[in-house]
Structure 1
Amino acid sequence: MTLYSTTPMLNKAKKEGYGIVAFNVHSFDSIFWVVEGAAQLYSPVILQTTMGTVKSLGAKNIVEAATAASNYFDVPVGLHLDHCTDYELIKQCVRAGYTSVMIDASMHSFDENVTRTKEVVDLAKSLHVNIEAELGKVGGVEDDIVVDEKDAQKAVPEECVAFVEQTGVPTLAPAIGTAHGIYKGDPDIDFDRIQKIAEIVDVPLVLHGGSAVPDKDVRQCVSLGMAKVNVSTELKNAYSQAIADHFKEYPDQLDPRQYLQKAKDAAIEMVASKIKMVGSEGKLVKPFV
């Protein structure tokens, strides 16, 4: 089995009214944990990495690990580079075998965002690699990208239409009030804005900042047209806390097989809860193309 482009995966999800979770992974262990969790629920899944994770683990190594996990558990897996501002790193990941990349030029003007996004579309789309772009600014912290709450801006529906038309991007992440990381208060999701954008834009939409958003709100986002839901902080916190709890209770038990098993259990539990949340349980139908 090879890794899948997320374009047909997300088009299918959008058409049938469910979502696919994209889980940020930070280690080779977590790649296998996420795919095993998806396999247990017969769900397709997207693995995604930040620029920092690619630089830490290596693009080719990540591709090989994701492919091995997909083959071992017999699950359709997409591999996505998230929030990338570096064109050279995008090229590196495409060459290594990533099936989806995000060019994040949302900090620039609309015209500059179009120019930079179109450059990546021209590079990757002919290779059947999905391209994701962001319009507006999602607040919070994602790897080393920081957007203050005061600088967060929601996407304008009419600009979303123009952006997709001018770039040809097959997946769009409009800022609609969510934030990266764990919320200090309740998320301020603009459901009317999501509905308006989904009504006039043909491509699947992406919900960034999916960690700690109430399940009912995520389900409503999916029902309105969000086909991809990103989860990073909640997953990372779950398995990291399991390791911390292990050493708090058993400070002298240093066998990695013991504390990593607890991390794995916590990760799989979190993966299952998010897959059920978006309704992709039992949607493991291959191929997507």
Structure 2
Amino acid sequence: MALVTSKEMFAKAYAGGYAIGAFNVNNMETIQGIVEAGKECNSPLILQVSAGARKYANPVYLKHLVEAAVEDTGLPIVMHLDHGASYEMCKDAIDGGFTSVMIDASHHSFAENIEITKKVVEYAHARGVVVEAELGQLAGIEDAVNVKAEDASFTQPDEVCEFTEKTGIDSLAIAIGTSHGAYKFKPGQKPQLRFDILEEVGKRLPGFPIVLHGASSVPQDRVAVINQFGGAMPDAIGIPEEMLRKAASMAVCKINIDSDLRVAFTAAIRKHFAENPSHFDPRQYLGDARAAVKEIVKHKICDVLGSNGKA
């Protein structure tokens, strides 16, 4: 099986009331942990690569690692560019073998967002690649994304029909109260997602796949492990998983997960060295990190997204 686009898997997810996990990847161990979980759960997967990951790992290496995951598992897997900042970046990813790209021109005016996005769609569709775009802006910091809280804005339902029709996109990321990064909300601050916006968007775009960014839940047990062994992560509250389950039962077909994986990966390594200070073989501590990623991805697939058994 070759890499696939998200078109068919989103259609099935929408009809079945579940969502596909879009997991950010940076290295071999993270990819292995994700796909091992996907194989055991028989779930389709989206492996997404940010601009920072492409710079760190080299796009050629990442592409072949993702292709190896397809060969090893036989799962339907999408290779997706996360937060493409420009037409040129999206074009480069498409030319490099990505089957899906996100153009994020949400920081531009509505008209400019349409113009830039349409240009990417025309190039992508001519080559069999699908396109995600964004309306509204999420707050938070993650890789190249850095939006101050005062600059964040909810998606306006009145704009979604015009935007999707004029651009021809295949999926739409909306802002309903999620936030990029691990430090989303302070203790005592109750996260609230604007399900009224999601419901209204779903009514205006029936059957159209919606995407949630900034949807990590920040596993507090892993934060505690990091802090126990010399870390300094402040207490943080992520998006409650029951809210994500509800979103997945509505129009949301893709939920992005990154910080949860990073926290689990780092916690496993810190714990390993605290318990085994003389170890120096990367296979030992990276093996623990890979197992931690696998564990949390299985939980997300089976208990939050509902995509288990859907491959």
TM-score range, shorter chain: over 0.9
Residues 214-267 of structure 1: CA deviation (Å, up to 9, x unaligned): 121001111121000000001111011101111122111111121111101100
The question of whether the paired residues in 1 share the 8 Å contact of 2:29 and 2:289 is answered with no
Q: Is residue 242 of structure 1 aligned with residue 264 of structure 2? A: no
Letter in 2 for 1:184: F
| 1:188 to partner: Cα distance | 2.2
> Distance in 2 between the 1:233 and 1:161 partners?
31
Deviates more, 1:25-34 or 1:271-280: 25-34
Compare 46-55 and 81-90 and name the one that shifted more: 81-90
Letter paired with 1:12 = K
CA-CA distance at 1:189 after TM superposition: 0.6
Aligned to 2:65: 65
Residue correspondence of structure 1 range 91-240 to structure 2 within 5 A: 91-182=91-182, 183-185=184-186, 186-202=190-206, 203-212=208-217, 213-240=239-266
The answer to whether the 8 Å contact 1:59/1:92 transfers is no
Contact 2:138 2:175 in 1 (8 A): yes
Alignment match, 1:282: 309
Match of 1:262 in 2: 288
Q: What is the match of residue 232 of structure 2?
A: none
Classify the secondary structure of the residue corresponding to 1:133.
strand
**RMSD in angstroms over aligned alpha carbons?**
1.1
Amino acid at match of 1:122: E
Are the equivalent residues in 2 in contact too, given 1:141–1:181 (CA < 8 A)?
Answer: yes
Q: What secondary structure is seen at the aligned counterpart in 2 of 1:211? A: coil
Output the TM-score relative to the length of structure 1.
0.95
SS of match in other structure, 1:23? strand
Q: Percent identity?
A: 40
Query: Is 1:77 the equivalent of 2:77?
Result: yes
- In structure 2, C-alpha distance between the alignment counterparts of 1:103 and 1:142, rounded to whole Å: 16
Q: Does structure 1 conserve the Cα–Cα contact (< 8 Å) formed by 2:141 and 2:147?
A: yes
**2 CA distance for matches of 1:245 and 1:95?**
41
- Runs of 4+ in structure 1 off by over 6 angstroms are none
Report the residue type matching 1:144 in the other structure.
Answer: A
Cα distance per residue 1:45-102 (max 9 Å; x no partner): 1000111111222222212110111110221111110011132221111111111100
What is the one-letter code of the residue matched to 1:16? G
Gaps of at least 5 residues in structure 2 are 218-238
Q: Is the 8 A contact 2:7 2:170 kept in 1?
A: yes
Alignment of 1:38-49 (within 5 A): 38-49=38-49
8 Å contact kept, 1:102–1:131 = yes
Secondary structure at the residue paired with 1:127? coil
Cα shift at 1:21: 0.3
What amino acid maps onto 2:199 in structure 1? Q
How many angstroms apart in 2 are the aligned matches of 1:151 and 1:174?
15
CA contact (8 A) 2:86 2:105 kept: no
Gaps of 5+ in 1: 285-289
Deviates more, 1:18-27 or 1:8-17: 8-17
Count how many residue pairs are aligned between Structure 1 and Structure 2: 284
Whole-Å Cα distance in 2 between the matches of residues 61 and 27 of structure 1? 9
Could you tell me which residue of structure 2 aligns to residue 287 of structure 1?
A: none
Q: Within 2, Cα distance between the matches of 1:221 and 1:19?
A: 8
What residue identity is the alignment partner of 1:127? R
**Contact 1:60/1:97 (CA < 8 Å) preserved in 2?**
no
In 1, Cα distance between equivalents of 2:62 and 2:261: 18
Mapped to 1, the partners of 2:113 and 2:128 lie a distance apart of 22
Deviation digits for residues 183-214 of structure 1 (CA, Å, limit 9, x no counterpart): 22432210111011011114200011110121
